[in-house]
A and B are shown apart, each in its own frame.
Chain A
Amino acid sequence: MKAFVAVTSALALTLAALPAQAQSTLDAVKSKGFVQCGVNTGLAGFSQPDSKGEWQGLDVDLCRAVAAAVFGDAKKVRYTPLTAQQRFTALQSGEIDILARNTTWTLSRDTSLGLNFAGVNYYDGQGFMVPKKLNVKSAKQLAGATVCVQPGTTTELNLADYFRANNMTFKPVVIEKLEEVTNAYFSGRCDVYTTDVSGLVSVRKSRAQNPADHVILPEVISKEPLGPVVRHGDDKWFDIVKWSLFAMVEAEEQGLSSSNIDQMAGSNNPGVQRFVGASGELGKMLGLDDKWAFNVVKQVGNYGESFDRNLKPLGFDRGINALWTKGGLMYAPPMR
């Protein structure tokens, strides 16, 4: 049967890729010719296929940056859309090379799951949104409020912890589906809606009749540093992913962008010279071409460009994700 042929040939295809897996991840990636990247099945601004089926987003840009660093071609990425439950298995089993799926860095994931977090590409945290007409200025004024929240995540636990710690009571309205929980909030069934600030921002922008009628309170009650993840035990690959992200941040700090890096490459600023690979051997130390960082910025852009392209249209502002020189947390160690 043709079905049998298809099944066996598909199996043969995957088995053919086997010998490569025994080597280091970098060698395996080089021999298969692309980076296999695990992404979210659909999260606006982070990883989402557009109307043409092309993946877009902050996490997707990170995958493209690694491909640009390794191959000099940001297009050499294949995406594996993953659900929250599958993501770690897919990485552990070697199905993907990088997991860039808005994953929160925690101690237990870093250690007991056998993973390495290669940095943070978005600092998130849980916040509260309330209608402006309630005239609430701080989360401390929310005693007795009705709070819309989705179940089963740390969101619900953080909420309970926060209210208990502040000796306040609240009435939870727990709704599973994002669609319905936001409807409940906007129809006035709850006074407050809580989820990660990134979620609040995009919901306010996309769902509110008038976004200015809703305020996000200043209190952020949890830390959700989201970042790319690789497997334990391959430090070389870990370095490459980590420094691909740092290169994007460093480029923004140095004022290098996809539009000006060609001219800037000719400047005699020693930092820029090292960055574009004109002097020093930074690429060789990573096992890459010396123009690796140049390729990342040229093809993907710096961190700020990626942020402006993917998150700004959704109504995000840089906030704590600004560069450290501008009061944010984005900081790359010296590239030398």
Chain B
Amino acid sequence: MGSDPFIAGPGQARTKGSDPKVALAWAREHLFSSWGNTAVTLMIVYLLWKLMLPFLDWALVKAVWWSPDGKACRVEDSGACWALIADKHRFMLFGTYPFDAQWRPALASLIFVALYVVSAIRACWRPWLALVWLGGLAAIGVLMWGGVFGMVYVENERWGGLALTLLLATFGIAIAFPLSILLALARRSTMPVIRWLAIGYIELIRGVPLISLLFMASVMLPLFLPEGVTIDKLLRAQIAMILFAAAYLAEVVRGGLQAIPRGQYEAAQALGLSYWKMMGFIILPQALRISIPPLVNTFIGFFKDTSLVLIIGLFDLLTTVKVSLTEPKWTGFGVEAYIFASAVYFIFCFAMSRYSQALEASLGAAQSRGTNGAGKGVA
């Protein structure tokens, strides 16, 4: 998913080859090197065969692809009920958004994806990228809310599905990440009050599960607000998620900061750089680079954590999938619905993971060669 151009970067040179002779040699060496190995290989192939055949039979051969009333799926000996996805996919992807206007969240989701892709290309890491994001997010806001250019206003209670998942994840990461850098710097600060505040915040938030934060935001917070003051449910959940993600990311960034040798700090100070210049030009670029794997790890985790808004009744992708199953004609086809949801999550998470590998490889190669990676662009 958009990460293919990066895979062929430096450091990825070992290719298993398309030459059949090479493949055969590889197989002989790795799979059939001894009697024991051959037996294990054959056994695994047999097991896969035994497992895959019924699965394919269920998922493809006997599957029901189209049945608006769900009756065909109830027939004895029928396979997977993909008719459920055919009937409910728009609800799953866009929730209770007005049906006729669902091109708007669809377009908004595409803009999100386009923003991710643009941000993934290192040639685009220029100041104008911030403007692109600003423009993109403004366009998404206009599309989702509407009320202008002849689009009907849609209140955010009706937002849902994939668009909501992307919204929660993107705003969550986009705001939590800068916040986490500040927190990490504060935690390593020499000023005691700032350090204690940062430690207190991080330990407090990390000490409770995300679910309890969401509960606090959705159930407790409204009770503390003065009579009549209500903060939007979506906004409350979003803030809780930002606070949570920031605490975790801060520790990742701090790990990166700690890995930078003292000499780097001293050299920067010897050059007469101020604290912010030292951090901005010398320390953070290195610290963030070595933090890429754990950062992406946290991003992926966070992307999936957005599904926890299920418990506070926000209609994100997982909630819409679950709600689809409460319709009597589709109850009992949970496996199909969850396969659909996992496929969507997998596409996003796998893309993130592949991208981070490629990025690491290209940045790592630049570092080991001692050249400036930025000039090289994308392979």
**A-side interface residues toward B, CB under 8 Å?**
1-3, 6-7, 10-11, 13-15, 17-18, 21-22, 41-44, 48-55, 78-83, 85-86, 89-90, 92-95, 179, 182, 202-203, 205-207, 209, 314
Residues from 80 to 123 in B contacting A, C-beta threshold 8 Å? 87-88, 90-91, 94-99, 102
Residues of A within 8 A of B74 (CB): 209
A90 to B220, CA, bound (A): 10
Contact yes or no, B230 A93, CB < 8 A? yes
B218: Cβ under 8 A from any A Cβ: yes
Given contacts A2-B137, A51-B91, A94-B228, A85 and B222 within 8 Å (CB-CB): no
Given contacts A6-B141, A7-B235, A41-B319, A93 and B222 within 8 Å (CB-CB): yes
Residue in contact with B137 in the complex, picked from A6, A15, A18, A52, CB distance below 8 Å? A6
Contact yes or no, A85 B219, CB < 8 A? yes
Q: Which listed segment binds A: B268-276, B320-328, B349-357?
A: B320-328
A179 to B332, CA, bound (A): 7
Residues of B within 8 A of A52 (CB): 90-91, 99
Nearest neighbor of A41 in chain B, beta-carbon distance: B313
B231: Cβ under 8 A from any A Cβ: yes
* Binary flags per residue of B303-328, CB closer than 8 Å to A gives 1, else 0: 00000000111010001001101111
Residues of A within 8 A of B19 (CB): none
Total B residues in contact with A, Cβ cutoff 8 Å: 58
Residues of A within 8 A of B225 (CB): 93
Secondary structure at chain A's binding surface: helix, strand, loop or mixed? mixed
Which 6 A-B pairs rank lowest in CB-CB distance, beginning with the nearest?
Answer: A21-B228, A93-B222, A42-B323, A206-B328, A42-B326, A2-B137
Which of A13, A21, A53, A179 counts the most B-chain CB atoms under 10 A from its CB?
Answer: A53
B157: Cβ under 8 A from any A Cβ: yes
* Chain A to chain B contacts (Cβ below 8 Å), 13 pairs: A3-B174, A6-B141, A21-B227, A44-B326, A44-B327, A53-B90, A53-B94, A55-B96, A78-B157, A83-B312, A92-B223, A179-B334, A207-B331
B32: Cβ under 8 A from any A Cβ: no
Residue in contact with B218 in the complex, picked from A10, A86, A92, A314, CB distance below 8 Å? A86
- In the complex, the number of residue pairs spanning A and B with C-beta atoms less than 8 Å apart equals 138
A94 to B230, CA, bound (A): 7
A82 to B219, CA, bound (A): 11
Contact yes or no, A53 B323, CB < 8 A? no
Residues of B within 8 A of A41 (CB): 313, 315, 319, 323
B138: Cβ under 8 A from any A Cβ: yes
Residues of B within 8 A of A21 (CB): 227-230
A49 to B91, CA, bound (A): 8
CB distance from B162 to the nearest CB of A (A): 13
A2 to B174, CA, bound (A): 10
Contact yes or no, A2 B230, CB < 8 A? no
Contact yes or no, B233 A80, CB < 8 A? yes
Residues of A within 8 A of B311 (CB): 83, 85
Contact yes or no, A89 B223, CB < 8 A? yes
Residue in contact with A3 in the complex, picked from B98, B171, B312, B322, CB distance below 8 Å? B171
Nearest neighbor of A17 in chain B, beta-carbon distance: B230
Contact yes or no, B222 A90, CB < 8 A? yes
A79 to B238, CA, bound (A): 20
Contact yes or no, A11 B228, CB < 8 A? no
Residues from 284 to 343 in B contacting A, C-beta threshold 8 Å? 311-313, 315, 319, 322-323, 325-329, 331-332, 334
Residues of A within 8 A of B133 (CB): 2
Which of B102, B157, B313, B325 counts the most A-chain CB atoms under 10 A from its CB?
Answer: B313
**Known interface pairs A42-B322, A93-B222; 6 further A-B residue pairs with C-beta atoms within 8 A, sorted by A's residue number:** A3-B171, A10-B232, A15-B229, A42-B327, A79-B157, A89-B218
A41 to B318, CA, bound (A): 12
Residues of B within 8 A of A179 (CB): 325, 331-332, 334
A182 to B332, CA, bound (A): 9
A48 to B133, CA, bound (A): 36
Residues of B within 8 A of A44 (CB): 326-328, 331
Nearest neighbor of B315 in chain A, beta-carbon distance: A81
Residues of A within 8 A of B327 (CB): 42, 44, 48, 50
Given contacts A44-B328, A206-B331, A78 and B222 within 8 Å (CB-CB): no
Residues of A within 8 A of B88 (CB): 51
Residues of B within 8 A of A53 (CB): 90-91, 94-99, 102, 158, 160
CB distance from A36 to the nearest CB of B (A): 8
Residue in contact with B323 in the complex, picked from A48, A54, A93, CB distance below 8 Å? A48
Contact yes or no, B155 A78, CB < 8 A? yes
A124 to B28, CA, bound (A): 68
Contact yes or no, A85 B215, CB < 8 A? yes
Nearest neighbor of A93 in chain B, beta-carbon distance: B222
A320 to B246, CA, bound (A): 54
Contact yes or no, B328 A95, CB < 8 A? no
A55 to B96, CA, bound (A): 8
Which of B98, B231, B325 counts the most A-chain CB atoms under 10 A from its CB?
Answer: B231
A90 to B74, CA, bound (A): 39
Residues of B within 8 A of A78 (CB): 155, 157-158
Residue in contact with B227 in the complex, picked from A94, A182, A203, A314, CB distance below 8 Å? A94
A256 to B229, CA, bound (A): 41
A22 to B326, CA, bound (A): 38
CB distance from B104 to the nearest CB of A (A): 13
Residues of B within 8 A of A51 (CB): 87-88, 90-91
